[in-house]
Amino acid sequence: MKKTAVILAVLALAAGGCATGDDEPTSKASADRPAAEGRSWKLEYVDEDEAPDGRLTTVTASSADDVWAAGYKLRGGSMDDPDRQFLVHYDGTAWHRRKPPAELDGNVFHPRLASSGPDDVWLFGFGLRDGASAARWDGNRWRRVPRPPLDGPAEGIKAFAPDDVWVVAGQRRVLHWDGSRWNTHALPAEPTALDGASGDDLWAVGHRDSGPGVGGDGGELTQPAAMHWDGRTWTLTRTPEYRFPEPVPPEPGASLDGVKAVSPKEVWAYGSHSFNHGEVEKEPSIEHVLLRWDGSRWHEQKGARQDDACLSRGIDAHGEDGGLLFGVHRYRSPEGRCTKLSWQRLPAGERIGARSKQRLWLDSIVPVPGTGKFVGAGQVQVLQSGNPLTLPVVATFEPAKG
C-alpha cells in the first residue's frame, strides 16, 4: 500500500483576541517560517497517492493510538458505490487504508463514525435503496448490527459502550441500542444533535415550535430546545428565548444545532437566531446562540449574539482543558480568549506547485481522549493551473499550554 504521511512543523497563532478578516481557511505560509509547537493544525496523514481527488468526512478517536476516519473519492461511479468509499485507521504506528466493511451490505454513502474505545467503534452508512446500516468494530473485526430504523443517514451519534449507543432519528425521536435491539424514544421537541457525559446524563438539542416565546403577533416560529435524559425519562429544560426588535423580519426563529457535554455541570450548546432572507430591504443581523449548562440552568454567553469571528461555524469539539474549538479557524481558551488558528501548506513537489493556493477544510473534529489534542478529517484543496488537487487529510491541533 502506498501512502504519504506528512508531519509538518507548526506555525504561530495570530496574536491578540478574536481575529477578524477573511475566514477562508487558506494557507499562504512559507515552509521556512519559524515553528511554535502546539499552536497550529498539523497534517498527520495526506493520502496523495491512493485516493487523490477525495475527502474524509467523519473521524473518531478512542485514544492517541486509535483513530478512524472515513470518506470517498470525488470521481468514479455513483455516490453509493462501495469502490468510491474508503476508511483509514491509525493503530499507533502507521496509517492503513481499508475498504468499507461488507457488514454494511453496500450501504456506505454518508458514513458516520463514533466510538467508546478501541474495541467499540461504530460505523453507520446509508444506501439509496436499502436505507441505513450499521457495523461495529470489536477490536479484531467488523460485526453486523441490525439496521437502525432511520429515514435518512445517521446523524448525532453518541457511543458509551457496546450496549449503549444513541442516534438522532428526527421527527421528535432518538434511537437507543441496548446490545440486542434498537429502541425508539419520543422527545418533547425536534432534535438535531446529542451528546452526554454518561448513559444516564444525555442531552439532545434542537428547536420547539410551541410554548413560551413562540407565536403571537410577529413572534418567532421556533425557539431553542434542550432535552435531558436521566436514565428514565426525557425532559425539556428551560432555555433563553430570542426575539428580533421591531420591525420583526419575516419567519423568524431560533434553534440549537449542536451540543458538547463535558460533565454534569458543564454542557455547551450552540445555534442561531435567523429569519427568511430576501423579503425586506433592511435586514437585521443573524444572531449566534451560545449557551452553557451549569448543572441547574442554561446561561446565555455574554457577547455571543454578534460574535461573527468566533461563532460563525459553531462549536466542533470541546477539549479536556475546557477550551472550545470552532472549526478549523478559531480556538477559545478556557479563559475565554478566542484566537485564529493557522496551518502550514503542503510542500511543493512533483504534483504541487510552489505558488499554489491551498485550502484546509475539516468536515469532522473530535477530541483525542487523554491527550488534550483534537483530530480532524477533511481535505486540502490545491488550487493551481493545470493540475488542481483535492487530497484527503487527517490533522491534529494541540492548544498551547499556559
**pLDDT of the chain along its 402 residues, tens only?**
333 333 222 222 222 222 223 334 444 333 333 333 346 899 999 987 776 789 999 999 999 999 999 999 887 666 667 788 999 999 999 999 999 999 999 888 899 999 999 999 999 999 888 899 999 999 999 999 999 999 999 989 999 999 999 999 989 999 999 999 999 999 999 999 999 999 999 999 999 999 999 998 778 999 999 999 999 999 999 999 999 998 889 999 999 999 999 899 999 999 999 999 988 888 888 898 989 999 999 999 877 787 766 666 667 777 766 778 877 778 877 776 778 888 878 988 888 888 899 999 999 999 999 888 899 999 999 999 888 899 999 999 888 765
Please give the order of strands across the beta sheet that includes 223-229.
190-198, 201-208, 223-229, 234-237
Residue 135 forms beta bridges with which residues?
Answer: 123, 144
Domain total for the chain?
A: 1
The C-alpha R_g of the chain, in whole angstroms, comes to 21
Residue 374 lies in a domain: no
- Burial of residue 222 (CB within 10 Å: 0-12, 13-18, 19+) is buried
Torsion of CA 319, 322, 326, 330, to 10 degrees: -110
Residue 238 lies in a domain: yes
Buried b (16+ CB within 10 A) or exposed e, 383-394: eeeeeebbbbbb
Residue 240 lies in a domain: yes
Residue 301 lies in a domain: yes
Could you tell me which of 289, 285, 219 has the C-alpha nearest to residue 250?
A: 219
Residue 201 lies in a domain: yes
Residue 269 lies in a domain: yes
Distance CA 67, CA 368 (A): 9
Domain encompassing residue 285: 187-307
Q: What is the DSSP string of 369-388?
A: TTTTEEEEEEEEEEE-SS--
Could you tell me which of 262, 280, 281, 259 has the C-alpha nearest to residue 270?
A: 259
Distance CA 346, CA 353 (A): 10
Distance CA 181, CA 305 (A): 42
Residue 259 lies in a domain: yes
Could you tell me which of 273, 210, 209 has the C-alpha nearest to residue 244?
A: 273
φ, ψ at 103 (rounded to 5°): -65, -10
Distance CA 215, CA 218 (A): 7
Residue 205 lies in a domain: yes
